[in-house]
Structure 1
Amino acid sequence: MNHDLAQIKVAATYMRGGTSKGIFFKLEDLPAAAQVAGAARDQLLLRVMGSPDPYAKQIDGMGGASSSTSKTVILSPSQRPDHDVDYLFGQVAIDRAFVDWSGNCGNLTAAVGAFAIQQGLLAAEKIPSNGRCEVRIWQQNIQKTIIAHIPMRDGRVQELGDFELDGVTFPAAEVEIEFIDPADTGALGLFPTGQVSEILDVPDLGQFQVSMINAGIATVFLNAEDLGYNGTELQDEINNDAAALARFEKIRAYAALKMGLIQDVAEAEQRQHTPKIAFVAPAKSYQASSAKQIAAEQIDIVVRALSMGKLHHAMMGTAAVAIAAAAAVPNTLVNLAAGGGAITTLRFGHPSGILQVGAETSQQADGQWKIDKVVMSRSARILMEGWVHIPPIA
């Protein structure tokens, strides 16, 4: 390496969206080689975040050493009609040289609209001085429309407010997000195997009752009881148990195979962002990670989900979409744990507290279910803006 070379700098904004943090870029601000998908783009984002790091700390980069904080977003004016911006999400691995482009980040979606407005990616006539600005987002990873309603005050994005989101310490302004037709409409469909609930055979581990859905993000749901859990576990109880994490990963790999996401279980290692794996149980009281007491009467169900091989500290936004969609369809594991029947609004308990989601569904002529949209509220704000500096990329 030529140590005389100066670092390069790239315009970037560090934002919190929901319970995640990430580095946001305008496509046009990236070096030319990184403006197209490929090795140069991946290498740039890996170096920005400080990956791969065998110490798993990302000390020499912007990453925060967790799946919730090793995220990148690239935005550009939309190439599609009736959309304002194209949004591409990259989940950067921490200890490996790998960027996963296979899914969306629902939490950072909350920050996309604000970033688009602040960076001049929306036509001025679309932005009200006060009220809410509707930002129509094309999510490139999953080829879906998302509508964000961004609060405005005196011509500027309103970031501060009194909306509280469990998993985020301080209140902020509420951002309502609509995930339009979030289910997979391609070959996989809403339920890739055609079943709302079925048995999954996992070699050496046995059989598990699962619901596998592809809405928001591909997700496999299990019953907590079948795993020996009660559904109120917090991060340390799962993440400090190497055997448990290995078991979850093996189940996830075989679910990915059965869902048609991969052709061989070995491929799951290179597809860690999807599918997600989660376990559910009927509502029960527990103490959240903040020491806040969650009463069974406040919620309909408890859910725990893993992201990038670790139990998430709250709930991934895309997994929340999957939870809402699964709850709305009778006889899925999520629906049954929440009491069964017709469910349009769900309040679920996660490690950090409570989240409410809503789903609008319709049944098609062939009897199949369609998820028309899922709605949830998040918040977002800018943490820092300027440039990130990295060594030149070969």
Structure 2
Amino acid sequence: MGSSDGVRCMLLRGGTSKGAYFVADDVPADPETRDDLLLRIMGTPDARQIDGLGGAHPLTSKVAIVRRSTEPDIDVDYLFLQIGVEEATVATTQTCGNLLAGVGPFAVERGLVEAEGDHAVIRIRLVNTGDVATATFPLENGMPRYDGEASIDGVPGTAAPIELESGGIRPLFPTGNVTDLVAGRTVTLVDNGMPVVLLRPEDVGATGRDTPEALEADAAVRAAVEEVRREAGPLMGLGDVADQTVPKMILVSPPAAGGAVATRAFIPHRVHSSIGVLMAASVAAAVCVPGAVGADGARLPEGEPDAGLAIDVEHPSGILTSRVRVAADDQGVWHATSASLRTARKIFDGTVFPRPRR
């Protein structure tokens, strides 16, 4: 596809991220050709992504590809691609719970699903992980309503609420253990929609109260986190993760702002200014399990985890509340489901033109 061939594209903010959304039929089916096109559209590789749609940060260098699903009881399939910024990489090993917030509205906008009444309920298959999510959001005249009174930390203003529910399919702890010893440190390997590693800040030379900028500037902390990440990847069934964007690495500590637990999230080399939806869901589920890293210092609300708890996960920009239901089955295997409130907004809809060559 040449630079003169425009591609139909919609730019949406989903949660605390921003991405380019495409209907699957509008981009090449061949992964190598598709990835080359997306790199040229986003302006990668370039630290500023000055010649493309990317916003010079992993949180704004994302792509969602959506198609009608052929799976029973599923409306649409959602493939997430994390586009590199300075390096010409396209990663498909993870999904994104923030861009997930925009998938339902995008599917309605593009006519991939029919929606009637005051609310749409869209069943979404997350192609990257095999999970299934349900998105519920308001409609106005058969189209998504973006204006509303819901607010989420990390995004200015208010918007219409989007309820996301997911999880419950895979075991919560990939190794079967609540804690593991990895690179000489006690960690919790957990996957409630996103594979993450929970660490104690002091085990990598941090405090738990560090700013994202301070963590990114501390070479010793980054090296320690990366050492754990590379050893944890194979244990989580991810293989060699040297060139992957998972697992995410999350420092967990006692809360400081009235929440249940405080976090600092490496994604995996930059530090998140807030926290991803599915990262928060994994943290929230893990700290409900006695013995998990972070559980001893967490301040959980009253109630039983198997009946559902609203866990306030603190992050540098505020709090993300993840409602989780956590229980062990008859074989002692832990499972979890999660629900969270997100918002999304359509920013533009039109034609994007890729640059001629990388």
Class of the TM-score when normalised by the shorter of the 2 chains: over 0.9
State the Cα distance separating 1:212 from its structure 2 match.
0.4
Per-residue deviation, 1:214: 1.9
**Structure-2 change in CA distance of 1:225 and 1:142 (3 Å):** same
Contact 1:40–1:393 at 8 Å: present in 2 too?
no
Rounded to whole Å, the distance in 1 between the matches of 2:222 and 2:295 is: 25
| 1:376 equivalent in structure 2 | 340
1:390 alignment counterpart: 354
Helix, strand or coil at the partner of 2:111 = coil
Aligned: 1:23 with 2:20: yes
Q: Distance in 1 between matches of 2:357 and 2:111?
A: 28
Task: Tell me the CA shift for residue 200 of structure 1.
Answer: 1.5
Q: How does 1:243-262 map to 2 (within 5 A)?
A: 243-262=220-239
Cross-structure match for 1:58: 49
Any conservation in 2 of the 1:327–1:334 contact (CA below 8 Å)? yes
Question: How many residue pairs align between the two structures?
Answer: 352
Q: Deviations over 1:16-65 (max 9, x none)?
A: 000000000001122xxx123x2101101111111122xx1111111111
Is 1:225–2:202 an aligned residue pair? yes
Listed as ranges, the gaps of 5+ residues in structure 1 are 202-206, 285-294
Report if the CA contact (8 A) 2:204-2:225 is conserved: no
1:309-348 equivalence runs, <5 A: 309-339=269-299, 342-343=304-305, 344-348=309-313
Out of 11, 36, 40, the residue aligned to residue 43 of structure 1 is 36
Report what 1:170 is aligned to. Answer: 157
Q: Which stretch shows the higher mean deviation, 38-47 or 150-159?
A: 150-159
Q: Aligned-pair RMSD on alpha carbons?
A: 1.8
Matched, 1:352 2:317: yes
TM-score (norm 2): 0.93
After the TM superposition, list the runs of 4 or more consecutive aligned residues in structure 1 that deviate by more than 6 angstroms: none
Structure 2 residue runs of 5 or longer lacking an equivalent are none
> Within 2, Cα distance between the matches of 1:217 and 1:52?
26
Which residue in 2 is equivalent to 1:204? none
Matches of 1:59 and 1:6, distance apart in 2:
16
Calculate the TM-score normalised by the size of structure 1: 0.85
Equivalent position to 2:251, from 279, 283, 290:
279
- Percent identity reads 35
Partner residue of 1:269 out of 212, 228, 242: 242
Counterpart Cα distance in 2 of 1:334 and 1:121: 42
Looking at structure 1, the residues matched to 44 and 174 of structure 2 have their Cα atoms a distance apart, in angstroms, of: 33
Match of 1:195 among 141, 154, 177: 177
- Deviations along 1:98-133, one digit per CA (max 9) or x if unpaired, are 1000011000100000000111000x3xx2232x21
Q: In the TM superposition, what is the alpha-carbon distance from 1:392 to its structure 2 partner?
A: 4.9
Is the Cα contact below 8 Å between 1:328 and 1:342 reproduced in 2?
no
1:11 aligns with 2:8: yes
Q: Which residue type is aligned with residue 38 of structure 2?
A: L
1:146 counterpart residue number:
133
Cα distance between partner residues in 2 of 1:308 and 1:69: 15
TM-superposition CA deviations, 1:127-169 (whole Å, max 9, x none): 2232x21000011000111000011123221101111111001
Equivalents in 2 of 1:380, 1:369: separation in Å? 32
TM-aligned CA distance change 1:233 to 1:392, over 3 Å = same
